[in-house]
Amino acid sequence: MEIKRVMVIGAGQMGGGIAQVCAQAGFDVILNDISEAAFEKGLGVITKNLSRGVDKGRMTEEEKNAVLGRIRKSTDLSDAKEADLIIEAAVEKMEIKQSIFRQLDEHAREHAILSTNTSALPITEIAAVTKRPGQVIGMHFMNPVPVMKLVEIIRGLATTDETYQAVEDMTRKLSKTPVEVNDYPGFVSNRVLMPMINEAIYTLYEGVASKEAIDDVMKLGMNHPMGPLQLADFIGLDTCLYIMEVLHEGFGDPKYRPCPLLRKYVNAGWLGKKSGRGFYVYE
């Protein structure tokens, strides 16, 4: 199946980034959010990103305007009837995603593929609320989307080979590298990354070393570009906690138990860079 028009659900950091790379690759994009204000905010970030590319000589002003011209506003999920591929990038809550997918299944054309950008939730469970589970798949983009090359493509239990191939081909057109992953909690990226971050938080919690020392060990000794505690702040501590809870519930293994210090910070509203304070303080 040839994908020509893409609908992205959610104009936030991830959804806006996905819409941008799709439009840059030449796809017509319907960018959907619940309000015009949310759409305009997302479009503003996309415009800023593209303008930075113009300033650095990576594209011309005409190319920037052409990309923006391929992005169209939507505040109604019934616009899914115009898309060949829908990429949902809403909040990481199963009940919200299932509600969206029920509506998309009702409105989307018979051949359309429904995908989710979830970072941890089971694709099979999301697909189960639709009448087309074979056409439901995970497309886990990395943040920031315009920069990071990886897309984890996650097959649900019923995902067909045709669906997978269409999404893999489209991912390559975005100049991204698709990696096939099966449907287990956290997939590969967060199943490996989040327990490492959680263990770093335990190391701080138990007084083994200071936050700066823990981050320096991983940066200077393991060649990580960013220490795990700083990275947790950038991801969002609430997101880290949520993914650890998904892993803990999904596998029932105590090794995935979220560190009490992580839970304490989230309960205090210390969510990392976005709230101004996490393991570090941000001005």
Residue whose pair of structure tokens reads 């998904």 in the numeric block: 246
pLDDT at 2: 85
115 and 222 fall within a common domain? no
93 is in an annotated binding site: no
Whether 282 maps to a domain, the answer reads no
164 and 205 fall within a common domain? no
255 and 121 fall within a common domain? no
Whether 151 maps to a domain, the answer reads yes
Are the C-beta atoms of residues 114 and 3 closer than 8 Å to each other? no
What are the CA-CA distances from residue 189 to residues 80, 127, 155, 194, 261 (Å)?
Answer: 29, 21, 15, 8, 23
264 is in an annotated binding site: no
Catalytic residue among 49, 74, 119, 198: 119
Catalytic residue among 152, 180, 199, 283: 152
140 is catalytic: yes
| Nearest alpha-carbon partner for 120 in 181, 199, 202, 32 | 181
- Boundary residue ending a domain (140, 157, 182): 182
38 is in an annotated binding site: no
pTM of the model: 0.92
78 and 168 fall within a common domain? yes
Whether 117 maps to a domain, the answer reads yes
Are the C-beta atoms of residues 90 and 11 closer than 8 Å to each other? no
pLDDT at 133: 98
- Boundary residue ending a domain (182, 215, 240): 182
Catalytic residue among 117, 190, 212, 283: 190
pLDDT at 52: 95
pLDDT along the chain (283 residues), means of 10: 94 96 98 94 96 95 97 96 97 94 98 96 97 98 95 97 97 98 95 98 98 98 97 95 95 97 98 96 92
Domain of residue 218: give its range. Answer: 190-274
pLDDT at 1: 79
Q: In what order do the strands lie in the sheet with 71-74?
A: 71-74, 28-32, 5-9, 85-88, 113-116, 136-141, 150-155, 177-182
Catalytic residue among 32, 88, 117, 140: 140
150 and 62 fall within a common domain? yes
| CATH number of the structural domain spanning residue 23 | 3.40.50.720
14 is in an annotated binding site: yes
Q: Which helix (H) or strand (E) holds 31?
A: strand 28-32
233 and 167 fall within a common domain? no
208 and 166 fall within a common domain? no
Residues 6+ apart with CB under 8 A from 101: 88, 114, 116, 126, 127, 129, 130, 136
107 is catalytic: no
pLDDT at 39: 95
152 is catalytic: yes
105 is in an annotated binding site: no
Residues 6+ apart with CB under 8 A from 229: 197, 200, 201, 204, 211, 214, 215, 279, 280
- Boundary residue ending a domain (123, 152, 182): 182
Question: How many domains are contained in the chain?
Answer: 2
56 is in an annotated binding site: no
| CATH number of the structural domain spanning residue 225 | 1.10.1040.10
Whether 283 maps to a domain, the answer reads no
